[in-house]
Structure 1
Amino acid sequence: MTDSKTLRVRVMQGETIAFGPGKADLLQAIAQTGSISGAAREMEMSYRRAWLLVEEMNRCFASPLVATATGGARGGGAAVTELGQEVLARYRRMQKKAAASIAADLRHLQGLMSAVQPEGEDDHA
């Protein structure tokens, strides 16, 4: 376990994380590999988990962020749509802006925090 203290930017839609750091990384991996299974392997997650995250992203936006093609003679695959590319680029800008605007306060808080994660806590809170 690392001792990093960070702020995570998440875009919520009700109680659902419409987009956050993990989904951004998955979308980027899909763009790089051309498939959900390839992205899942790259991120060391199950195909099922990756597929569920893609379905959730696609439901949360006005149109899909990922388009899929079923297998055939040339095989299947997945592509990040134009909207998906826009969402990813805007989200990455949001992350940079948020990090820059809170850097000094986060450094100060880090100095006030213990070096060890409290027992029973996980990083998903």
Structure 2
Amino acid sequence: MRIGALKLKLQLFCGDAIAIGPGKADLLDAIARGGSISAAGREMGMSYRRSWLLVDEMNRCWSAPLVEAHPGGGKRRGARLTATGERVLALYRALERELESAAKGGSFAALAEMIRTEPVHTP
């Protein structure tokens, strides 16, 4: 999220892996909308392999998987967020809103008054 000159990128780590960040949260949203990892990847302009690797990494970072996939045919095919996935996504989005709200005053406001819109060019 970008607020004037301030760009906030909320990432939660699991060891060296990003358990969730803005892109992974968007991927979860797309899976929830489309019911498919491949459709979510296409919507976001990434390959199925890339989207699957991100889902796999998220599933390995949390206390329970965030996405449940059912390959093949039938009524259960596709992918959906688990209850844990829905909760993690909701809490992450809430934390984003809290962070954005906190950044709108105080220290940020003071810094925003002091920063230039563009760097000064040196001769």
Q: TM-score, normalised by structure 1?
A: 0.80
**CA RMSD after TM alignment:** 2.3
Q: How does 1:7-86 map to 2 (within 5 A)?
A: 7-73=8-74, 76-86=77-87
Alignment length, in residue pairs? Answer: 116
Shift of 1:80: 0.5
For residue 94 of structure 2, what is the aligned residue in structure 1? Answer: 93
The code of the aligned residue for 1:23 comes to K
Q: 1:51 to 1:116 in 2, by over 3 A?
A: farther
Q: Structure 2 vs 1, CA of residues 42 and 110 (structure 1 numbering), >3 Å: closer, same or farther?
A: farther
Cα shift readout 1:40-83 (whole Å, capped 9, x = no counterpart): 11111111110000000000011110000011255830000010
SS in 2 for 1:103: coil
Q: Which runs of 5+ in 2 are unaligned?
A: none
State the SS of the aligned residue for 1:18: strand
Bigger-Rg structure (1/2) = 2
Q: Quote how far apart the aligned CAs of 1:17 are.
A: 0.8
Matched residues in 2 for 1:5 and 1:24: separation? 20
Q: Structure 1 79/108 Cα, relative in aligned 2: closer, same or farther at 3 Å?
A: same
Equivalent-residue separation in structure 2 for 1:51 and 1:82 (angstroms): 19
Deviation at 1:116, TM superposition (A): 5.9
Runs of 4+ with deviation above 2 angstroms:
72-76, 104-117
1:102: Cα distance to partner? 1.6
Structure 1: gaps (5+ residues): 118-125
Paired amino acid for 1:76: R
Q: How far apart are the structure 1 equivalents of 2:101 and 2:43?
A: 29
Pair 78,4 (structure 1): closer, same or farther in 2 beyond 3 Å: farther
